[in-house]
Amino acid sequence: MIVTVTPNTALDVTYTVDGLRPGEVHRARDVRHRAGGKGVNVARVLHALGADVRAILTAGGSTGAAVEADLAAAEIPADVVPIGGETRRTTTVLADDGSVTLVNEPGPRLTGTEWQTLAAAVRTRKPDVLVCSGSLPPGAGGYAELLGGSKSILDTSGEALLAALAGRPSVVKPNAEELREVTGLRDPVAAAAELRKAGAGAVVVSLGGEGLLAVTGSGTWHAAPSTLLSGNTTGAGDAVVAALALGLGQGESWPDILRGAVALSGAAVLGPLAGDVDLAHYHREQGLVAVRARPGLLDTT
């Protein structure tokens, strides 16, 4: 079983507008609400692929109730930890020119008891692969407390990422900017090597339209999509994590894992909302992704 953990759950609100102009009034053509947070998005993608997955998440207040109702309607297995605070909302504005604007609320403060209940839920499930995703809300402990005892993937940023390396995650998945932020290094291969020295088993770096870079104990690879896609990029990184979890759980080689991850990321860009994937594109693209060993440094500056 793959278990995803989302300490900072959200209700995702997505607006579609003709164009986004600062300081002006906008009228949305379409408004959609969906249970979100990075781990929930990962679980949604895995569920669409037919994987054995369970989401562990927090939920509180009327917004939390809406999150629970959406997960139940989508038939995504979930363990929900009740919290006293109101679950946050995240807002995405999709404009016709292809721009994507996000506003993310910080999330409610967790009590020590709420965090320990979340950690206990993870231990009870005994996952084959554990996915820890997203920001940590105020009052939360660290992801290092949850890692260990199973294969694991960490997708967070900043201090939460650095602190979690003590838990020795199997894979860490920052994007290029997040990697540069925590290491101070502009070269992603050198920066990824620093995270490996600090405890990460492997580092998979999202390079946007250029694909993925994987720095592992068995080699370094760059995987590129066959074509540049336009669409909603908000769930692309979560789709990468979903593919990494599948590949890690099935013991696939790194080149095969990366082919699936790039293909699924593109499939998410073609989906209307975070957590949606175009399965036809996913299956077609896997055979078209170019994966090359990279013995030297990759300069993305």
| Active-site annotation, residues | 238
Q: Is 246 helix (H, G, I), strand (E, B) or coil?
A: helix
Q: Is 44 helix (H, G, I), strand (E, B) or coil?
A: helix
Name which of 81, 11, 80 is nearest 41 in CA terms: 11
- The tokens of 296 are what? 């030297």
- The tokens of 252 are what? 């696939």
Q: CA 18 to CA 31: how far, in whole Å?
A: 13
Q: CA 92 to CA 244: how far, in whole Å?
A: 25
Q: CA 170 to CA 151: how far, in whole Å?
A: 6
Name which of 113, 54, 88 is nearest 245 in CA terms: 54
| Tokens 């404009």, located at residue | 95
Q: CA 65 to CA 71: how far, in whole Å?
A: 10
Q: How many Å is the Cα radius of gyration of the chain? A: 18
With beta carbons less than 8 A apart as the criterion, state whether 147 and 129 touch.
no
